[in-house]
Structures are given as C-alpha cells and as structure tokens.
C-alpha cells in the first residue's frame, strides 16, 4: 500500500470523503480500514462549524490541508476531522467509522469488550478506540509521524444523507463501504 500525504487533501471535500473509503488509518499501535466518512464544505454548508463559528473559519485559514480538526461533541465525544483545501473549496472530512485491523486489544482496553463491528462504528467510538483526543487538534499528524494513511479500496462505495445534524440534511455527503458490517448506521439505499 502507498502512503497518503497532505497533498491528498488538496481536493474537494466531497471527493476526498468518497476517496478515503477503503484507506487505512494507523494511529499509534492501532489501525483500521476507513468504512464511513462525511464531507463538510467551509462555505455555504449550514452543518459545517465554519458556518456560525468565526474561530473555525480562522482555523481553516491558518491550517494546511491534511491537518487534524478534533473537537468535543456535546461535551462527550472527541470527533476527528481532516482539513481539506482544494480549488473547489475548503472544508473537512469527518471519519465516522473504521473496521478494526490492528491493535484490537488496545482498542478494547480503551472502549470495553465490544465486538469488532462495534469498536469503531461511530465517530466518538472511533476516537476513543484509537486514542485520539483534543491534544491532537491542529496537528499535522501525517507529517509528524503521529498517524499515517495508506491507500486502499472498498467493495462498493455508497452515499446518503449525513447523520447527527439538523441542517443541510438533504446533501448526500456521507459515504460508506456497503460491504462492511462496521458502519455507524446502514445506508437507506444504494446510490
């Protein structure tokens, strides 16, 4: 497998989110295959943090493609996003679910004795299992050796509406590997 570099994230957020399905994320002693993502555009996307938060717009302006955007969701779960900056616009890709590959014992120590399919089926579960937290916010994780991404493939990539949001829900910017049983939620139909 070939390593992805920050240049991979110099793209449209929607294309990037789709292209990440099947790739492998390594973080410390753990790794998993990316099976679900969501795209967020920095401009005009009411569900994106940049829409109402000037500090997030400033974050995008000041950080490079491929940097980590990690935030605490509802004061409970850390969510891991990657900054995307391309000619068609800037934004984020949220990693929603991974299929465990390596370091499953460490994941269970962090998450509990869940079956493999539930260890990282959801963005909060994913960060907890991988050991990703607020201290990783803003880090150029691919360049400093903190994390690595390897190219991969998916059996069939499907799309559907993003979930867990209340605005811009009509956009089919959630992507997943239809052959995986580790998705956070099934897709309503193949598209």
Domain boundaries, the chain: 6-177
Residue bearing the bigger pLDDT, 167 or 122: 122
| Amino acid 191: pLDDT | 42
**∠45-124-78 over CA atoms, to 5°?**
75
What long-range pairs does 155-164 form, CB within 8 A, spacing at least 24?
155/179, 155/180, 156/190, 157/18, 157/21, 157/22, 158/187, 158/190, 158/191, 159/18, 159/187, 159/191, 160/187, 160/188, 160/189, 160/191, 161/188, 162/38, 162/47, 163/38
Among the four given CATH numbers 1.10.150.80, 3.40.50.10490, 2.70.70.10, 3.10.300.10, the one describing domain 6-177: 3.10.300.10
Averaged pLDDT for residues 112-132: 96
% of the chain surpassing 70 pLDDT: 98
* Distance in angstroms (rounded) separating the CA atoms of residues 162 and 142: 26
Residues 96-134 as b or e (16 or more Cβ within 10 Å = b): bbbbbeebeeebbeebeeeebebbbbbbbbbbbbbbbee
| Amino acid 149: pLDDT | 96
Quick check: 86 and 101 in contact, CB under 8 A? no
Half-sphere exposure of 107 (CA within 13 A, CB side): 26
Give tens-digit pLDDT for 29-54: 999 999 999 999 988 877 778 878 77
| Amino acid 189: pLDDT | 62
pTM: 0.94
């Amino acid at each position: 497998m070939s390593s992805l570099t920050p240049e991979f994230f110099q793209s449209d957020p929607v294309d990037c989110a789709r292209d990440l399905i099947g790739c492998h994320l390594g973080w410390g002693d753990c790794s998993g295959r990316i099976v679900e993502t969501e795209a967020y555009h920095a401009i005009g996307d009411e569900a994106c943090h940049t829409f109402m938060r000037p500090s997030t717009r400033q974050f995008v302006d000041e950080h490079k493609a491929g940097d980590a955007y990690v935030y605490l969701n509802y004061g409970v779960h850390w969510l891991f996003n990657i900054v995307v900056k391309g000619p068609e616009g800037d934004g984020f890709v949220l990693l929603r679910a991974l299929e465990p590959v390596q370091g499953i014992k460490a994941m269970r120590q962090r998450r509990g004795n869940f079956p493999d399919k539930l260890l990282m089926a959801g963005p909060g579960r994913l960060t907890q299992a991988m050991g990703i937290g607020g201290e990783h916010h803003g880090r150029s994780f691919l360049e400093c050796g903190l994390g690595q991404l390897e190219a991969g493939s998916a059996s069939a990539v499907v799309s559907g509406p993003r979930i867990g949001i209340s605005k811009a829900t009509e956009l089919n910017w959630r992507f997943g590997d239809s052959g995986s049983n580790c998705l956070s939620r099934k897709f309503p139909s193949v598209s």
